[in-house]
Structure 1
Amino acid sequence: MSYERFAYLYDELMRDAPYEQWVSFVKEKLKKYEIEGSSLLDLACGTGELSVRFAIEGFQVTGVDLSSDMLTVAQTKALNHGLKVPFYLQNMAELEGLGQFDVIGIFCDSLNYLSSEETVIQTFSKTFQHLKKDAIFIFDVHSVYKINQIFMDQTFTMNEDHLAYIWNSFPGEFPNSVEHELSFFVLDEQSGKYDRFDELHQQRTFSIEQYSNWLVEAGFEILEINADFETKAPNPESERIFFIARK
């Protein structure tokens, strides 16, 4: 998939995302498990929205993403806030050489962009290697229910004066996977015409049991499995599943 033009629209498309809830959720869990250090690795950090928010809260943040365009936006955003946040272009399944952290997060269902079991397993292994002893790993994923019952065969749209999109979701190649076909129409202010570009995003999820098994195999102790930003166990219609694990 390409993020070249999408990277510069991402923040506008995600303007209603509950970023404050992610920050609050992480701070709550770190306090609960008495994590005193402040070094945080934000994997698949995208445009750095959460990286910057965590840095403002006093964390020593490092960001990693696979898209150079996303990182360009992230670095500009950090500088605009007067923050020095190092960002690195790396694949989270091939993470190398960044030291060890007090907490590592993969937020905003970014783990669902890994299409194979092998890459998820590799990511858990690399994450384990980059954590200090007793440090915390937090990530969230779409539930199987959300992939199959909310996304599948649905169409979503947005229509504003300067930007519109049509978002169609179809069954993916694998079980519990979905393909998002997005067509964007962006106003060119000079010509007054709309430019169209298309994106294909593929997401795949796995069962709670499968994620749990992979975490344990990687050496983690699972502390909690929550749903939808609340301290409660997932139910069959939970949409976002949170895992909190300790090295």
Structure 2
Amino acid sequence: MNYGKFAAVYDGLMEDIPYEEYVEWVASHVASGKLLDVACGTGTLSHLFAEMGYDVTASDLSEDMLTVANQRFQKANQAIPVLQLSMDNLEGLTGFDIVTIAIDSLNYLQSEEQVQQTFKEIYDALNPGGHFFFDVHSVFKVDTVFMDSPFVYDAEEIAYIWHTEPGQASHSVIHDMTFFVRQNDLFERFEETHEQRTFPIEIYTKWLEAAGFSVESVTADFTSQSPDDESERVFFHAKK
């Protein structure tokens, strides 16, 4: 997906995401190592992992997102390699101790085959004993919470109207967003359409195990608790 202008406003929209808690979750299991941050977006998480001492490589499919990420890394004097890759085609990357796919990025894959191929690619990229961390929207969030649109956000520099509708596949959603971004005394309007899909926890678990992983834990909503019927974000920790 080409995010276009969305990359420029992404950080402002994600300011409520507790990235530090994500780093703490990973660090509580693996304190150091060579880390691949897949679907890194604008590089916020990659930056934090590098600050913690991890040897970070960042990848994303979007050139626009990677441009913003590179600017972040350069400003922080961080020598983080940046690769433009799809998560289901990591082009033979190997030798990593940790792989992350954070903040529901996996949900942008539209087919079962793409998710399964991604798990295989990540398994191959990891060293023996390596760790895989990712999170996804729950079925409840996609089927119920997202359907309570429209959502409206209004801040000094940016506003948006966000409509959702069910996608064609089960447990999928189409996000139609109209943004208004301040440019001096005027607001520039642009539109984005994003599609996401999720699967039940047992399906993700089955695919992880089929790829060769052992599933170490499944938790919910930035806690150590197991998911329930109304959990919105599900976290997986798997091991090669």
For residue 16 of structure 2, what is the aligned residue in structure 1? 16
For residue 102 of structure 1, what is the aligned residue in structure 2? 97
For residue 230 of structure 2, what is the aligned residue in structure 1? 237
Matched, 1:2 2:2: yes
For each residue in 1:126-181, what CA deviation from the matched residue of structure 2 results, as whole angstroms up to 9, or x when unmatched?
00000000110111001001111110141111122321110111111111001110
Matched, 1:216 2:209: yes
Matched residues in 1 for 2:216 and 2:157: separation? 45
Matched residues in 2 for 1:101 and 1:193: separation? 47
Question: Structure 1: where are the runs of 5+ without partners?
Answer: 32-36
For residue 183 of structure 1, what is the aligned residue in structure 2? 178
Q: Which stretch of the first structure deviates more once superposed, 102-111 or 155-164?
A: 155-164
Q: Is the 8 A contact 1:104 1:137 kept in 2?
A: yes
What's the CA shift for 1:93?
0.3
Aligned residues: 240
What's the CA shift for 1:29?
2.2
Matched, 1:64 2:59: yes
For each residue in 1:75-105, what CA deviation from the matched residue of structure 2 results, as whole angstroms up to 9, or x when unmatched?
1101111110001000010111332200101
For residue 199 of structure 1, what is the aligned residue in structure 2? 192
For residue 152 of structure 1, what is the aligned residue in structure 2? 147
Matched residues in 1 for 2:69 and 2:40: separation? 8
Matched residues in 2 for 1:46 and 1:230: separation? 23
Question: Structure 2: where are the runs of 5+ without partners?
Answer: none
Q: Which amino acid aligns with 1:195?
A: E
Q: 2:106 aligns with which of 105, 111, 132?
A: 111
Q: Which stretch of the first structure deviates more once superposed, 94-103 or 63-72?
A: 94-103
Matched residues in 2 for 1:139 and 1:145: separation? 18
Q: Is the 8 A contact 1:2 1:199 kept in 2?
A: no
Q: Is the 8 A contact 2:176 2:191 kept in 1?
A: yes
Aligned residues with identical type, % of pairs = 47
Structure 1 residue runs of 4 or more that deviate by more than 2 Å after TM superposition: none
Q: Which stretch of the first structure deviates more once superposed, 152-161 or 138-147?
A: 152-161
Q: Which amino acid aligns with 1:80?
A: K
| Superposition TM-score, scaled by structure 1 size | 0.94
SS at match of 1:92: coil
Once the two structures are superposed, the pairs formed by residues 69-148 of structure 1 within 5 Å of their partners are 69-148=64-143
Matched residues in 1 for 2:52 and 2:182: separation? 36
SS at match of 2:29: helix
